[in-house]
Homo-oligomer: A and B are copies of this chain.
Amino acid sequence: MNVLIVYAHPEPKSFNGAMKDTAVEVLTARGHEVVVSDLYAMGFQPVAGPADVEGNLINPDFFSLATEQTAAYDGGRTAPDIVGEMEKLKRADLLIFQFPIWWFGMPAILKGWADRVFARGFAYMAGRKYDTGMFKGKLAMVACTTGTSADTYAPDGIDGDVLTVLWPLHNGLFRYSGFDVLPPFVVYMPGRVGDDGRNTYLEAYRKRLGGLDAVPRLFFHPAEDYGPNERLRPGVLARSGVQRNV
């Protein structure tokens, strides 16, 4: 497999850094090709806007990100820093996002990688989403750390189910663009568990990475479960309740 790890942490000696290093080591040892986008080290610029396009805008009087992304991609005028990431993503069979959960989501530098690299024309377009998404056949996984406990991220926890917190990323970014999605590998409060706890987590992460084929993918309803209005058909709804990962 070709693997792309998009890594977003300002401190190389952080536990996120250790998880990234562990993934590179384990996956390389198993014969995979691993590429890392170290966004902080790259000084990645995360703000989507007119500078994402080289040359003239389609409409200089009204900037539409979707319109300009599509035209730039089709015309080979996407900014070089984005093209470099798109090329890595095209080659990847497995995409890993490695990040600390900051304010219940990705650090801005990683969100902006998604905003700019998952551009219209490249990552989605009319009629191409979910089961027919552009990246069908690829696999994605979140590997992240938290600042609060596993209890707080339980379905009845005060922070909300970790799968609800990650829903915008799992369903919204990955599944929308066609990926199959592995369950997240979540490390709770790595700063509070001591060296033994951290080593236990890294060992578990090694095992996860060494046995990805055996890990059940997250459940998302297939296209046929939805009616023409993109809501679950009544029979499906009665069977499954609201749409959620299980």
Contacts and interface: CB of A to CB of B under 8 A. Distances in A.
Interface of A: 10-11, 13-14, 40, 46-50, 61-66, 102-109, 111-112, 114-115, 118, 130, 147-149, 151-152, 154-161, 164-165, 167-169, 171-173, 176, 191, 221, 226, 229-232, 237, 242-243
Which 10 A-B pairs rank lowest in CB-CB distance, beginning with the nearest? A104-B172, A108-B112, A104-B168, A46-B108, A11-B63, A156-B232, A108-B111, A10-B49, A158-B230, A151-B229
Given A11-B64, A14-B63, A159-B176, 12 more contacts: A103-B118, A103-B172, A104-B167, A104-B172, A108-B109, A108-B111, A151-B230, A156-B231, A156-B242, A158-B221, A159-B172, A160-B171
A232 B237 CA distance: 26
A157 B103 CA distance: 25
A165 to B, nearest CB: 6
Nearest to A156: B232
B118 A114 contact: no
A213 B222 CA distance: 42
A24 B147 CA distance: 36
Contacts of A161: 242-243
Contact of A230 (B149, B172, B231): B149
A226 B66 contact: no
14 contacts: A48-B107, A103-B168, A104-B169, A104-B176, A107-B112, A108-B109, A109-B112, A151-B231, A152-B231, A156-B232, A158-B230, A160-B243, A165-B168, A165-B172
Contacts of A109: 46-47, 108, 112
A171 B154 contact: no
B108 A243 contact: no
A115 B104 contact: no
A2 to B, nearest CB: 23
Given A63-B11, A165-B167, A165-B172, A40 B49 contact: yes
Contacts of A242: 155-156, 161
A62 B111 CA distance: 24
Contacts of A232: 156-157
A156 B237 contact: yes
Contacts of A229: 149, 151
